[in-house]
Amino acid sequence: MKVEEEGKVYDDINITPMLDVAYVLLLIFIIMTTATVQGITVNLPKASATPALSKPKTKAISITPDGTIYLDTYPVSIEELESRLGQYKAATPDLPVVLKADASIQYEKVIEVLDVVTRLGISQLGLVTQKLVK
């Protein structure tokens, strides 16, 4: 066994204790995550041949900085927007719509789109914004 001299400077760091702590924390994280996800096991009842309930698909209207209006990902005019939304509204009476408009566009474009949505009687309308960071 080698005896170390007093005052000798060590030029390496022993990272084994730090790795041990990291592995223990990882193990605790894995155990806690899997314990909360499992939940309670239940025997679900069997359904007859009824159709599955589905949530209506949300339609997104976007207005770019140059004033182009998009329905989902397709560019449309204001007339096409009204006719297509009318078709979707006829198929799904409680059609949800979200409006995403660039902050630099003219206010008039947003009002035109809101007028179309109001004329069609779409009551589920969401305006997409960003959270203000202070």
Residue bearing the bigger pLDDT, 73 or 2:
73
pTM of the prediction?
A: 0.56
The pLDDT value given to residue 64 = 84
Q: Band of the pLDDT at 109, cuts 50, 70, 90?
A: confident
Residue 55 has pLDDT above 70, yes or no: no
Domains and CATH numbers, the chain: 59-127 (3.30.420.270)
Q: Band of the pLDDT at 42, cuts 50, 70, 90?
A: low
Q: Band of the pLDDT at 50, cuts 50, 70, 90?
A: low
35-54: b or e for each residue (b if 16 or more CB lie within 10 Å)?
eeeeeeeeeeeeeeeeeeee
For residue 121, how far is the Cα from the chain centroid? Answer: 26
Q: What angle do CA 88, 83, 74 make, to 5 degrees?
A: 80
Tens-place pLDDT, residues 65-76: 888 888 888 889
Residue 80 has pLDDT above 90, yes or no: yes
The pLDDT value given to residue 22 = 93
Distance CA 35, CA 48 (A): 34
Residue 40 has pLDDT above 50, yes or no: no
